Amino acid sequence: MKAAVFREPGQPLAIETVDDPTPAAGEAIIRVHHCGVCGTDLHTTESHNAPGVDGVVLGHEFVGEIVALGADAPAGWQAGDRLASLPFIGCGRCLACLKGMPWQCAGRQIIGSAEVPGGFAEYARVHLNEAVRLPDAVSWERGALVEPLAVALHAVRQVGRGIAGRDVLVMGAGPIGLASVLWCSFFGARQVIVSEIDAGRANMALQFGATGLIDAKGDVAEQFRALTDSVPDLIIECVGVPGMIAQAIELAPFGGEILVVGFCMKPDSFMPALAMVKELGMKFVIAYDKSDFQFVVDMMAAGRIDADRMITDIVTFEAFPTAFESLRRPGNQCKILLSPLG
């Protein structure tokens, strides 16, 4: 099959022919219809994190249709079924797997890593324990957004005092920031203000439910007060670069909450004493449960959420290496999807 393969930092992904995957017990092979590019895909291919991933097929934001089933496949699945899958293969027997939380499985493997080839390919291997049916009402393009929407949904579900009626500051308007805006609006936030350095992405946040925008290069606290006549009692950090947590602590009021969703892979520091004297609640969040995937799919199918504007380009293998590299630089791209079927 054809796949986009990472070989070395500083070089574009290579379009190569690799072995077709084969399903183990309880697994399926899917024909990938679309797969989105995530910030962690970009991080993985940077020089500081490159060792051990030569030859890996990345991509974990994928949807597809079943073309082959392994032995002991769960009843009700058959060739042609449409699905979205959590990008994990768990043991299927531990409490975490049985609760739909394969990220917490001690033996889980990550799809789109050196452990299991991912969705930047014509076919991918998934475990049906982690799969969610994709109804016909949800297009393939929308289905490829289930994973990033589930990240933000899982995050906002962790807020201790809930979202309704809150004054929220979302730091960053990348895909996860936009998804966070969408869910804060969905769950009834009073105001959702977005802090972002790129004007194009900031304006996109308005289409996802933001009630105001802040230039992140300016005085964020003052701009927030000017827009809302209040302070952000909930801050969602979606940037993932050093210094953002410290800024969130400075901005937060006494008793405020900070939700750290930005995936920072570099050392960072902040002043614990400042967080302590404000008695802040801080939670670090990653990934999702199967119930998060199902909720996103259900809301898409019911027409209650619309994240289509997040998709700024859909490309084939021929254009994919260049499109992938373009995401390393600020620009008007938000979510690029690979369409392996062309």
Q: Can you state the percent helix, strand and coil of the chain, rounding each to 5?
A: 30, 25, 45
Q: Which residues does 75 contact at the CB level (< 8 Å), separation at least 6?
A: none
pLDDT at 47 (0 to 100) = 62
- Angle subtended at Cα 100 by Cα 66 and Cα 237, rounded to the nearest 5 degrees: 105
Q: Write down the pLDDT at residue 124.
A: 98
CATH number of this structure's domain 2-149+288-338: 3.90.180.10
65 near 30, Cβ under 8 Å?
A: yes
Q: How far apart are CA 336 and CA 317, in angstroms?
A: 12
Q: Please calculate the CA angle 128-131-132 and round it to the nearest 5 degrees.
A: 140
Q: Where are the domains of the chain?
A: 2-149+288-338, 159-284
pLDDT of residue 52: 56
Identity at 32, one-letter amino acid code: V
pLDDT at 194: 98
Two tokens, residue 332? 């008007």
Cα-only R_g, the chain: 20
Cα angle 97, 120, 146; round to 5: 50
Q: Which CATH architecture has domain 159-284?
A: 3-Layer(aba) Sandwich (3.40)
Closest by alpha carbon to 69, among 134, 19, 128, 118?
A: 128
User: How many CB atoms are located within 10 Å of the residue 200 CB?
Assistant: 14
Q: How far is the C-alpha of 261 from the C-alpha of 238, rounded, in Å?
A: 5
Give pTM, 2 decimals: 0.95
**Strand stretches in the chain, DSSP E:** 2-5, 14-17, 27-36, 61-69, 82-85, 88-89, 109-110, 123-127, 131-133, 167-171, 191-196, 212-215, 234-237, 257-260, 281-284, 311-315, 335-338
**Rounded Cα–Cα distance for residues 158 and 85 (Å):** 22
Could you list the pLDDT tens digit for every one of the 342 residues in the chain? 999 999 988 899 999 999 999 999 999 999 999 999 999 999 888 864 555 578 999 999 999 999 999 999 999 999 999 999 999 999 999 999 999 999 999 999 999 999 999 999 999 999 999 999 999 999 999 999 999 999 999 999 999 889 999 999 999 999 999 999 999 999 999 999 999 999 999 999 999 999 999 999 999 999 999 999 999 999 999 999 999 999 999 999 999 999 999 999 889 999 999 999 999 999 999 999 999 999 999 999 999 999 999 999 999 999 999 999 999 887 788 999 999 998
